[in-house]
Structure 1
């Protein structure tokens, strides 16, 4: 089976990486722990691994409902446990009464240190507290070097994973029937605007798919894709449930409200 036919051309490098992980585990009998993967990447791993009788795999991002997760691929005789994923929960406080911090402010502070997004899991910023799930191998670097976000002085400390804050983000799920899986069609449907206006946003570079700007209105979305529209928030194509007799697509979408 040609695995590539099920995915986009630009996803081939990641597919090749996953295939290399799988082959390496099979040959060396040593487990592989990945960096943090977005939902689309997790779906690709699941598709490639399938029901391989010689290997087991799992995901963890600190809690079942986290968006970004690390993967482990291991020989079939191994047992994968939560402690194997190399996750660290880091916490910092800031004076909410005097300083307002948003998700993008904190993430930008991490990026300014040269930390790759792939080494960071879910980030929660609320009620004067910052929680971030990070790869254990960089936690000491973060604690030593990230001492300020905007005008707030911060000090990150380790916390038990089970104390991860429940994000107050709320997702609204909706079942739709759409004419196609084009980016402009789904953007129109999810964000409640005309197709022409959706196309204008796309042309202007206001729309990202899986954290990458996509300026092609005809771009085909697939199950698991994350979408963000500048000024309008994030959404997700959760499920493609097949087609109607008139060849329209039944889809389930979710939008952050």
Structure 2
């Protein structure tokens, strides 16, 4: 049986990821061997992909939980046998939802709320998705920080906030909006698809890839000639994110027709 060090080295790309993956293995052992529920901090989508590969390889029992379906930031939950997934939505859930309401004509942004949270000492890994609406915002946090946030978060931007906790069941689930379009490419190369999806030149797309600004299925991809398939998700810093919905027929000139769903 491989040691923890061997396992993490086989899946991690750097020392930071080794520490992260080792902590997940520790939490899995705590739940399975000692019967203690254990949870990670919030993970990015990239971290989730890497962690799932390792945890699936060791046949770990876990849940990825962000508070609602299709949450971008989520925690890894390791539950002993006497608990099931319903525990995550109970009063003892590891996550809490804060509703922040404010008055004023200017709508506050994701950056306004995140900046205010970090301004009172909350680390990024303790905050999940931040869902802004007109005159209010909902954000998910690690539950143990709830009293501190309710007491200390007074404003965001220049607006005063009225804070309250709401049950996870009352969290308004955001509707994911897409802009669907068709394009044609000479090949399904990563850089060619980026060019088509975000309406930039092939040369500019290659620059984004080479600079490490482009991701394929939430993982950084430095290979412009990587083949993109139906269902793959591509993202470029500063440009957005898109899903390759389907690949159609090849034209007489040899170009492939593709359907792209760009996240609005």
TM-score, structure 2 normalization: 0.70
Kindly state the Cα deviation for residue 67 of structure 1 after the two structures are TM-superposed. 1.8
Q: For the Cα contact (< 8 Å) 1:143–1:155, is it kept in 2?
A: no
Partners of 1:237 and 1:17 in 2: how far apart? 32
Aligned to 1:156, the other structure's residue is in SS state: strand
Q: How does 1:186-205 map to 2 (within 5 A)?
A: 187-201=194-208
* 2:120 is the counterpart of 1:113: yes
| Aligned CA-pair RMSD | 4.1
Residue-pair matches, total? 239
Q: How does 1:83-98 map to 2 (within 5 A)?
A: 83=90, 84-97=92-105
Aligned to 1:37, the other structure's residue is in SS state: coil
Q: How does 1:172-211 map to 2 (within 5 A)?
A: 172=179, 179-181=188-190, 184-185=191-192, 187-201=194-208, 207=213
Aligned to 1:35, the other structure's residue is in SS state: coil
Distance 1:33 1:46, change over 3 A: same
Kindly state the Cα deviation for residue 160 of structure 1 after the two structures are TM-superposed. 1.8
Please name the residue that 2:164 is paired with.
157
* 2:133 is the counterpart of 1:133: no
Q: For the Cα contact (< 8 Å) 2:97–2:165, is it kept in 1?
A: yes
Q: 1:42 aligns with which of 31, 41, 48?
A: 48
Q: For the Cα contact (< 8 Å) 2:8–2:22, is it kept in 1?
A: no
- Which has the greater radius of gyration? 2
* 2:23 is the counterpart of 1:17: yes
Partners of 1:226 and 1:156 in 2: how far apart? 36
* 2:178 is the counterpart of 1:171: yes
TM-score, structure 1 normalization: 0.72
Structure 1: where are the runs of 5+ without partners?
242-250
Partners of 1:220 and 1:20 in 2: how far apart? 35
Structure 2: where are the runs of 5+ without partners?
248-257
* 2:69 is the counterpart of 1:61: no
Partners of 1:16 and 1:221 in 2: how far apart? 31
Partners of 1:87 and 1:209 in 2: how far apart? 28
Distance 1:185 1:14, change over 3 A: farther
Kindly state the Cα deviation for residue 68 of structure 1 after the two structures are TM-superposed. 1.7
